[in-house]
Amino acid sequence: MPVGERAPLLRPTKANPVWSMDVVFDRTAEGRAIKCLVIVDDATRHEVERAISGHGVARVLDRLAHSRGLPKMIRTDNGKEFCGKAMVAWAHANREQRRQIQPGKPNQNAYVESFNGRRRDECLNEHWFPTLLHARTEIERWRREYNEHRHKKTIGAMTPAAYAQQLANSDIINPGF
């Protein structure tokens, strides 16, 4: 692709072939770091996982592999969580295709960046979390509301959870194996 040429970020027509991942940071009122690993299915806009602890990215992905299978491709930025030896080794061991966006081009990871912006505006910026437990509770409440009660025009005015279920019922989900 020539320099400067734009290509659309195509949304997959099946659930699970492409996930976008990012990390969002915040702080509690007591100054403790809040670090959220966010994984979004590009097709359904469903938040696949939200980890808010010190678990490594590879451990979270291993857990997801057992519960729903892995995608064919994972798109990330160039953060240290995604470029380190552990993640590279995990991807190689699982034959997982990784796509890292160009530095300074968050629009190349638009699905998860849009999700993170919405979460920041509607949840993180709206709450002053006294503790990590309070942060976990509020972030999980917001995640459920987003996945189960928000209708998206781009997926037929369905909620991400309902759309993912419709694809599962249609035997369209490709677990990536």
Does residue 4 lie in a domain region? no
| C-alpha to C-alpha distance for 168 and 173, rounded to whole angstroms | 5
Q: Give the residue among 30, 96, 29, 28 at the shortest CA–CA distance from 58.
A: 96
In a domain, 110, yes or no: no
Exposed/middle/buried for 127, CB within 10 Å: 0-12, 13-18, 19+? middle
175 domain-assigned: no
Domain assignment present for 83: yes
- What is the extent of the structural domain holding 158? 18-100+123-169
In a domain, 61, yes or no: yes
149 assigned to some structural domain: yes
Amino acid 84: pLDDT:
87
User: Which residue from 82, 3, 12 is spatially nearest to 43, judged by alpha carbons?
Assistant: 12
Identify the pLDDT of residue 90. Answer: 92
- Pairing type for strands 47-51 and 73-76 reads unpaired
Instruction: With respect to residue 13, please indicate whether it lies within any of the assigned structural domains.
Output: no
The CATH number of whichever domain residue 76 belongs to comes to 3.30.420.10
Largest CA distance in the chain: 50
- Dihedral (C-alpha) 42, 117, 67, 71: value to the nearest 10 degrees? 30
Count of the separate structural domains present in the chain: 1
pLDDT given at position 97: 92
Q: Is the residue at 7 inside a domain?
A: no
Residues 6+ apart with CB under 8 A from 61: 70, 74, 90, 94, 96
Whether residue 22 contacts residue 76, with contact meaning beta carbons closer than 8 Å, is answered with yes
Could you read off the pLDDT tens digit of each residue along the chain, which spans 177 residues?
444 455 667 778 788 889 999 999 999 999 999 999 999 999 898 888 877 665 689 889 999 999 889 999 999 999 988 988 888 999 999 999 999 999 999 999 999 999 999 999 999 999 999 999 999 999 999 999 999 999 999 899 999 999 988 888 875 555 543
Amino acid letter at 9?
A: L
